[in-house]
Structure 1
Amino acid sequence: MFSNKRYITCGISSAIPHEIQLALWRMIDNLRASTDVEVDYLQIFRLSIQNGKQKIIHRQEEPVYCNEILVAFIWNPVENAKIFVIDDGEHSTMMLAEEY
């Protein structure tokens, strides 16, 4: 999973800074590199601001996985966003939840 061509939607391109996009792909890559967690075809991210930092919650439903990080701002923060990254076997697509 998630080792194929990667795409982003227009919504991601316009609403999510490139640095955050890269961080989300990196979080998926780190999950894939983990030997003890099976990667689901649907990855879910929630972005918010907490204590002056960008909060990113990364989760999947099957099997259950959740990782939460806080990152100091080095770009424009994203206050409230839900992002899906879906692997359909041929390619992986990052999209805003409302684009699904």
Structure 2
Amino acid sequence: MTLPDPVQRYFEADRASDPEALARPFAPDGIVEDEKRTFAGHQAIEGWWRETKAKYEHVTEPLESVEQDGVLRVRARLIGRFPSSPAILTFQFRLTGNHITRLEVGL
């Protein structure tokens, strides 16, 4: 599957367990929404990822993607330490230029 560069870098950094590299594709004021919480800016996004990785010890595998109305939806399998593992989640990316401006993670 071919993904836009910032999204590809996001998933590669997640796989490599590198929170700094994971935050780099985001715009400086980029936003992540996950589990009914919002994280804005690189430092907050790194903190979100560290907390989530420590809690769930998850591995993310992108399965398919579709772009519609300016939103790239990536369905991915998450395997980790949580009751419904493995789970299929949708990562909704909004991009501006070569940056992720918003990521919403949900079912």
User: Above 0.5 in TM-score?
Assistant: no
Structure having the larger proportion of residues in strand: 2
Higher relative contact order (CA 8 A, sep 6+): 1
TM-score (norm 2): 0.37
